[in-house]
Amino acid sequence: MNPFDLSLPSKIIFGNGCISRLGEEVKPHAQRVLLVSSGNPNRIQSALDSLKASGVLVSLASVKGEPTLEAVRSAVRLAQSTQAQGVVAVGGGSVLDAGKAVAAMAANPGDLMDYVEVIGAGKPLPNAPLFFAAVPTTAGTGTEATRNAVLTSKEHRLKVSLRHPLLVPKVTLLDPALTVSVPPEVTATTGMDTLCQLIEAFTCKTPNAFTDALCREGMTRAVRSLRRVFKDGSDLEAREDMVLASHFSGIALANAKLGAVHGFAAPLGGMYDAAHGAICAALLPTVMTMNLRAIGEREPNHPALGRYREVAAILTGLPGAEAKDGAAYCDVLRTELGIPRLKALGIQWEEFHTIAEKASKASSMKGNPIELNLGELVTILGAAY
């Protein structure tokens, strides 16, 4: 059994309507907060009502689309000018990542480039972030359970992370009712991101007993509910399953690792205007297939092979499923959910080698169960094209 350390949100609250508890959870920690959202007033009204009912003073910051370095810098200036004592993020993964970064930088000197990985100095944060509460409104990234904030540098055409153990939210409210209005296409892409994270954390180089349990449970819930919630967004039982599966995936990736799918997603997300979950969905079947081929050729006794068989059994519902059946299932599911291949997402085949080189250096790639060479990475892109 692999040894492990655990990094978890300090407090997790789950249940339909639990957004009403936001104010009472925030007030003891912060009387003035910056609320980060996508800017849609309908999506944050219940959060505002709860905060104001508890006497918390609120300033608003909007983050549209992927959180860029400049968007975070702008929100940090607002947090500091309003003397915010905490940050509350209500939204999808991009909003939550932005909120984490704002909470960190509002309490620390210097610029983001001093602390972000890959393109920056990657220094550790000298001060603890401001109090941070996360309220996800999609079931996808699981970032409400992780210790990093994924940000986009348009200048470098790359996604990078700001990372610190204390970036894990102090309070996380999981209210499935907030996800009911998410449109089918977003439900599909975020749901496939959830499934991908569960599969990668389960088959990575460093799984552990704790994350294994969450991955098994999360995959089971996603399999029974992703199609349902795509067809009927008002299916609250299925929404509950997907919210929990997403949260389990976030805890799992934060405490194990990911793999080649997310290794590719980092450069692709910075180079192209394509949804993260759509990129993951397009790549997942071909990465699984290549991993199985590489394992069979180089390490036929690799423990990940048994894990891929277990994944296939969970996904297909067939105890005797072969490992390759899991990859086939993911490709069929992608098609059923209307998620296109890489070509339709705007990915240019002329950049395959550049993408592969960037992906080979991504932090998530280090968790892949077997090291893949550049030729194999390019082959994956071609097979997903």
Amino acid at 69: L
- Are both 210 and 142 inside the same structural domain? no
The answer to whether residue 369 sits within a structural domain is: yes
CB 79 within 8 Å of CB 99: no
Distance CA 166, CA 33 (A): 18
- Are both 259 and 190 inside the same structural domain? yes
Statement: residue 42 has pLDDT above 90: no
The answer to whether residue 6 sits within a structural domain is: no
CB 236 within 8 Å of CB 177: yes
CB atoms within 10 A of CB 20: 15
The answer to whether residue 5 sits within a structural domain is: no
Question: Which ranges constitute the DSSP H helices of the chain?
Answer: 22-26, 41-53, 69-81, 93-105, 184-203, 209-231, 236-255, 260-271, 276-298, 303-316, 323-336, 352-360, 374-383
Q: Domain boundary at 179, 194, 224, which? A: 179
Q: Domain boundary at 179, 194, 211, which? A: 179
pLDDT tens digits along 268-305: 998 999 999 999 999 999 999 999 999 999 999 999 99
- Give the model's pLDDT for residue 41: 85
Statement: residue 6 has pLDDT above 90: no
CB atoms within 10 A of CB 99: 34
Q: What is the pTM of this model?
A: 0.95
- Are both 220 and 314 inside the same structural domain? yes
Instruction: Report the length, in residues, of the chain.
Output: 385
Closest C-alpha among 328, 357, 207, 331 to residue 268 = 357
- Are both 125 and 213 inside the same structural domain? no
Q: Domain boundary at 179, 202, 223, which? A: 179
Beta bridge partners of 59: 34
Distance CA 380, CA 385 (A): 9
CATH of the domain at 237: 1.20.1090.10
- Are both 158 and 79 inside the same structural domain? yes
**How many domains are contained in the chain?**
2
pLDDT tens digits along 193-230: 999 999 999 999 999 999 999 999 999 999 999 999 99
CB 249 within 8 Å of CB 197: yes
Domain hosting residue 203, numbered range: 184-383
C-alpha 45, offset from chain centre = 24
The answer to whether residue 325 sits within a structural domain is: yes
Question: Encoding tokens for residue 291?
Answer: 């991993």
